[in-house]
Chains A and B, each alone.
Chain A
């Protein structure tokens, strides 16, 4: 079993829909990251969370430390949101703080 599990693996929706991507983890963490990868490969960090909730534009990320679960929500989805969304957890190791990644969720928003 992977230490970080994402669901769903693939998600297709219509423009304007509310999107939720889930991430569950089984290890102790110091922080959780949500990353976005567009076709072509570049990865951008969207959020880093250690508790509660963060909002940036139409994107909202929440984390429940007790349940070891995080969600990424996209409101009023748009075709430009089409990308792979990756959850990653930072383990409590000192030094370089390694990340453990989920397998990613491929999101397609149709116009």
Chain B
């Protein structure tokens, strides 16, 4: 059974704090993605990675960075959290190739006060 896990379901942080969101997949997938989901805006891609130590900016990378030191793990970092980063964060992974389905984690609901 495929599995994508995220380190926290709910997180409350203060403005200016450094925040780490971790995602782990056990399917040996090459591709991993970080999205945020906001009401009325749908899912938007923050960053993705198609290999270890490789990363590409998505549509809204400002204020975020990522790290992929191991194939199974993709971390999203908020260097200095701000209130406009309050959102639902979803991680996904897929195998390489045009037919790869993305498998999503359960999401982390982040509140920045």
A residues contacting B by CB (< 8 A) are: 30-31, 33, 35, 40-45, 48, 86, 88, 90, 95-99, 101-104
Contacts and interface: CB of A to CB of B under 8 A. Distances in A.
Contacts, number: 60
B61 interface: no
A45 B102 contact: yes
Interface in B11-48: 31, 33, 40-45, 48
Q: Which 7 A-B pairs rank lowest in CB-CB distance, beginning with the nearest?
A: A41-B107, A43-B104, A96-B50, A103-B42, A101-B43, A96-B31, A101-B42
DSSP majority for the A interface?
strand
Nearest to B45: A98
B33 to A, nearest CB: 7
Contacts of B40: 103
B50 A95 contact: yes
